[in-house]
Structure 1
Amino acid sequence: MQSNNPVFRRSEEFSRSGANAYGNQTYAGNGANYQGYGSDPSTWGTGEPGSVETPARSGAPMTIDSVVQKTGISIGVVIVAAMATWILTPEITPASNADDLSPLIAALTIGSLGAFALSMVNSFKRVISPGLVIGFALLEGVALGALSKLFNVQFGEGVVQGAVIGTFAAFAGTLAAYKILNIKVGAKFRTFVVAAMFGMVALSLMELVLSMFGQSIGLFGFGGLGMLTAIAGLVLGVFMLILDFDFVEQGVANQIPERESWRAAFAMTVSLVWIYTNLLRLLAIFSQD
């Protein structure tokens, strides 16, 4: 089964198996040519009559443990980079002027743009690169550290703490619901989530461009419209996690190469950051007098 998620679609491995995680018959590669056939007959298998042949895989397969380890590394880099940015940037107060805020604004801008660029590269790169995943996590951490510090001063300390706790609670709750309720992910659900995700990104870019000309619709502000988009973004983040869990489950069942653990780690890091930023904004709106 082929994914509509650009992160996983770049990996042919997620489409490869004799039977998918739900027991439905699929065919290796969906007609794609695999490296190894036609190059070294010794790697061919004789198989059984009526069976579907797949090329020999080198290295250990991806496991739940390997996904947990790589995701832990990626999230750990985000947290360390965020803490370092918070500590190393100058202290600010609600009365701080533009000069005092400039280091934080610079960190937020550089981190956000760099993380966005690497997220696009990682999403559409055919062979996942651990270095680029770590680079994305590092830049994302810098952006989140700066953003969190600004929100902490403007809206109070409880906002950041609540967003952190809420993000991990959302992860745990979504995982529990996925397993206990035995959630099945269909093609229409995938298409909807990915379309909504790119739609939200497009709206963010539109707001960014408008802000350069001193204009704003308020989609990502702290008013009523901003609250609606924050709630929608939070729900979308949970849906993205469901897609991540589904693809990890299929990948483990298909015994894809261990290196794909980094792709799964990247996807879950994106989903958790997405949930955190929307939850942070939502709590900031609620905290206003």
Structure 2
Amino acid sequence: MQSNNPVFRNAEGFNQNAYGNATYAGNGQAHQGYGQQAYTDPSTWNVGTPGGPTGLRPETAQGPMTVDTVVQKTALTLGAVILAALATWVLTPDMDDANVGGLYTAVMIGSLGAFALSMVNSFKRVISPGLVIAFAVLEGVALGALSKMFAGVYEGVVPGAIFGTFAAFAGTLAAYKIFDIKIGNKFRVFVTAAVFGMVGLGLMSLVLGMFGVDTGLFGFGTLGMLTAIAGLVLGIFMLVMDFDFVEQGIANGLPERESWRAAFAMTVSLVWIYTNLLRLLAIFQQD
């Protein structure tokens, strides 16, 4: 049975066994020795070029996913988010009544574009590094404009949200390793359903807002505070799933390109945590 998480479900070799636990390509199977090649699958054969070497196609020689490759890809993806956010912050005018429309437009364009690419990346069987970076850039545009809007009204919330996001990442990673957290199928189903539920509520509120209906779900009142807290907790759960994917993927020899899938997933989780922290800190400042 496949994983219920759409980000990881399409990863090559990512499955679940009859007990609902994650399994990966080669799990429980004998592996070839170092330096050996297999020619049992004709689709992997390559006749080569005249006068050139023959053998496996170049992509089959790709190494396995490791902690280093995951860290490198995640750093590149987060770096693209940060650079795009900084560029948007610098290039857009200061927050005031005359300029809020431009910032709002940047938020809408960036967030809708990032959402579209996140769907493509989540359901794409072979992860594309270019699409992951494009997602990161659009996400950075949205975050840069959104952060500038919040900073213009609520002093100090942006640095607090940035610090809180990285603290949440470090704390979750430490807890995952120290307590040796293991997740099962029910946890994955719950988190995935909650993510889609929260996204659905956000889209509904956006559409209703266009017709002048304020649901208050993502506002700055009591209801907005509850959804921000729920979103923050959900972001932590998403990180736990990300760490599990990386750990199990490395243990079972997923190909190196799956490091981009891990980087994409962790970027989504960190952005999710940041935006909810930003809103939560703004609500607390009002009180």
TM-score by length of 2: 0.86
* Counterparts of residues 219-234 of structure 1 (less than 5 Å): 219-234=217-232
| Long gaps (5+) in structure 1 | 29-35, 44-55
1:284, CA displacement in angstroms? 0.4
**Quick one: which amino acid aligns to residue 5 of structure 2?**
N
1:113-128 alignment, distance < 5 Å: 113-128=112-127
Tell me what 1:198 maps to.
Answer: 196
The one-letter code matched in structure 2 to 1:227 is M
Match of 2:215 among 214, 217, 241: 217
Q: What is the RMSD of the two structures over their aligned residues, measured on CA atoms? A: 2.4
CA contact (8 A) 1:57 1:257 kept: no
Aligned equivalent of 1:174: 172
Measured at CA, do residues 215 and 41 of structure 1 come closer, stay the same or move farther in structure 2, by a change above 3 Å? closer
* Stretches of structure 2 lacking an aligned partner (at least 5 in a row): 30-38, 47-58
Q: Secondary structure at the match of 2:120?
A: helix
Matched to 1:178, the amino acid is Y
Partner of 1:4: 4
Report the counterpart of residue 255 of structure 1 in structure 2.
253
Instruction: State the AA in 2 paired with 1:62.
Output: M
1:82 lines up with 2:85 in the alignment: yes
TM-fit CA distance, 1:252: 0.2
Q: Which amino acid aligns with 2:121?
A: N
Partners of 1:268 and 1:162 in 2: CA distance:
20
Task: Tell me, yes or no, if the aligned pair for 1:14 and 1:250 is still in contact at 8 Å.
Answer: no
1:1-289 to 2 correspondence within 5 Å?
2-15=2-15, 39=42, 58-92=61-95, 96-97=96-97, 99-156=98-155, 158-289=156-287
SS of equivalent to 1:60 = coil
Per-residue deviation, 1:106 = 1.5
Quote the offset at 1:15 in angstroms: 3.3
Conserved in 2, the CA contact under 8 Å of 1:248 and 1:264?
A: yes
Counterparts of 2:90 and 2:171, CA distance in 1: 31
AA at the equivalent of 1:113: L
Q: Deviations over 1:46-104 (max 9, x none)?
A: xxxxxxxxxx9531000000000000110011011101100100112xxx22x322221
TM-score normalised per structure 1: 0.85
